[in-house]
Amino acid sequence: MSPRWRSACLSLLLGAACASPPPPRPTPTESAPQEQAPEKAPGKAPEKATPKASSQAPSTRSPQEDPSRADFERAVDVAQRGEWDAAERGLEALLKTNPSLDPAWTNLGVIRERRGRLDQAEQAYRKALELKPDQEAAWDYLARLSCRTGRATNIEAELRQKLEARQDAVTLRAALAFVLLHQQKLDAAATEAKRALKVDERYVKAMQVLAQVYFLEKKYELARMVLENALAIAPRDATTHNAVGVVQLTLHERFLALDSFKRAVQLRPDFAEARNNYGALLNEAQDYAAAVTELEAAVKSASDFVSARLNLGNAYRGLGQFARAKAEYEQALKLQPTLADALFNLAILYLDLEPEGMDPLERFKTSIAFFEQYRGLGGKDDRVEQYLKDARKGIDKEERRREREKRDQQRKAQKSEEPSPPATPPPSSAKLATDDKK
């Protein structure tokens, strides 16, 4: 039986439609290739070096021998625990003594973006690019931020201008492909991704964009093939595992998709899109407690992630937690006022659960009002008509119950007002004596 709510759409392959910025990365000043980098902890894969990386050799000193790197990695560890204030202070202190540490600028930008200081985030990303013009992470984050804030055409023009002088810059080419994908310019996005792959056939980010183009064109098997190639190159790339999960789910391979989303979360615990996808499937399996764990983590990593808010509300509703579910649906509407699915879910919430202290008639009428608002925004779920009938039946049943209760109270009141019949006097003692004489 399908759930009596509207699930949020799964996050797209690269999270292009989601609000969450990427996570902080513990990248050393000069990064080792991703496939060769030792794992320190889940979600901490170093940034992939590009073909145009600096000729300076990567630092081989341990954190104890390299205080700047040790301070940097501590700040990122703190950020990945969600302790934004402490992480920001740590990175700012580090940059005062080592302002040329470009990964620190990038991670500072991510933290500021998550805290809603978007202008400061962009300044940090651009500072990182001043220091290292080919830094993959900074271009990736800057492109995403520009798309989120409605400036996709601006960043597209900037990237094209830079590529005129550097045709073989795969980092810029992949960022441009992502921006074109965000604008639904699928042919152009595929072209740029393929150009990047001609320069570096192992460039995973270009593969991910190309796979999403194929996915949106409904070429699912082709998308799967590209993503499998990407995993062969970088088996610990959480973004690719998440992308594979979306393709598998589309191909009705639900159990495989669950495993892919779970693997993405294990590799990068603060990957909001993967957490959202995993939580959405757990909701459908009615494992609401596990879904809450995943979706609360998604919202913690990206507080303005509308899909995660909607799915978290569904999980709370499944556990019977009316107030929490209502708060998440309302927050989703605050972030996206025309989100019809949030109205649908609020209507179902009032229809199915009985919040303590709420008048039943008010509850059913509120449900009907939300269904009407849902339809007013163009919602066309076929179940609405039946749900409206259920709500109206609930109103009729409650009104009849109240009418019966009212009549019972009236009868009791009338009975209490009627005069009591006179008491029967006991037989007189004189009569009894007369009877004895006889």
The reported pLDDT for the residue numbered 119 is 94
Do 18-27+44-52+61-148 and 150-260 share a fold? yes
Q: How confident is the model at residue 20 (pLDDT cuts 50, 70, 90)?
A: very low
Cβ contact 204:230 at 8 Å: yes
Residue range 150-260, CATH number: 1.25.40.10
The reported pLDDT for the residue numbered 426 is 64
Cα 269 to the chain's mean position, in Å?
13
> For 177-219, how does the pLDDT look when each residue is reduced to its tens digit (9 = 90+)?
999 999 999 999 999 999 999 999 999 999 999 999 999 999 9
Cα 14 to the chain's mean position, in Å?
13
The reported pLDDT for the residue numbered 56 is 29
Residues 104, 110, 114, 115, CA torsion sign: positive
Check pLDDT > 70 for residue 389. Answer: yes
The reported pLDDT for the residue numbered 76 is 82
Cβ contact 128:145 at 8 Å: no
Check pLDDT > 50 for residue 51. Answer: no
Q: How confident is the model at residue 37 (pLDDT cuts 50, 70, 90)?
A: very low
Check pLDDT > 90 for residue 15. Answer: no
Greater model confidence, 64 or 370: 370
Mean pLDDT lowest among 124-128, 295-299, 405-409:
405-409
Check pLDDT > 80 for residue 358. Answer: yes
Check pLDDT > 70 for residue 61. Answer: no
> For 218-236, how does the pLDDT look when each residue is reduced to its tens digit (9 = 90+)?
999 999 999 999 999 999 9
Check pLDDT > 90 for residue 295. Answer: yes
Check pLDDT > 50 for residue 83. Answer: yes
The reported pLDDT for the residue numbered 413 is 80
Q: How confident is the model at residue 153 (pLDDT cuts 50, 70, 90)?
A: very high
The residue extents of the domains of the chain are 18-27+44-52+61-148, 150-260, 338-408
CA distance 409 to 389: 30
Helix axes of 254-267 and 238-250: crossing angle, nearest 10 degrees? 170
Instruction: Please tell me the pTM assigned to this model.
Output: 0.77
> For 302-351, how does the pLDDT look when each residue is reduced to its tens digit (9 = 90+)?
888 899 999 999 999 999 999 999 999 999 999 999 999 999 999 999 99
Q: How confident is the model at residue 59 (pLDDT cuts 50, 70, 90)?
A: very low
Contacts of residue 316, defined as CB under 8 A and 6 or more positions apart, other chains included, come to: 288, 292, 324, 325, 328
> For 123-145, how does the pLDDT look when each residue is reduced to its tens digit (9 = 90+)?
999 999 999 999 999 999 999 99
The reported pLDDT for the residue numbered 308 is 94
The reported pLDDT for the residue numbered 429 is 54
The reported pLDDT for the residue numbered 78 is 80
Exposure string over 397-411, b if 16+ CB within 10 A, otherwise e: eeeeeeeeeeeeeee
> For 241-280, how does the pLDDT look when each residue is reduced to its tens digit (9 = 90+)?
999 999 999 999 999 999 999 999 999 888 889 999 999 9
Q: Look up residue 230 and give its two tokens.
A: 């990407």
The reported pLDDT for the residue numbered 274 is 94
SS3 string, 255-318, reads HHHHHHHHHHHHHCCCCHHHHHHHHHHHHHCCCHHHHHHHHHHHHHHCCCCHHHHHHHHHHHHH
Check pLDDT > 90 for residue 85. Answer: no
Task: Say which CATH class 18-27+44-52+61-148 falls into.
Answer: mainly alpha
What's the mean pLDDT when you consider all of the chain?
A: 83
Q: How confident is the model at residue 408 (pLDDT cuts 50, 70, 90)?
A: confident
Taking alpha carbons only, the member of 13, 23, 84, 10 closest to residue 308 is 10
The reported pLDDT for the residue numbered 343 is 96
Mean pLDDT lowest among 61-70, 93-102, 108-117, 284-293:
61-70
The reported pLDDT for the residue numbered 420 is 67
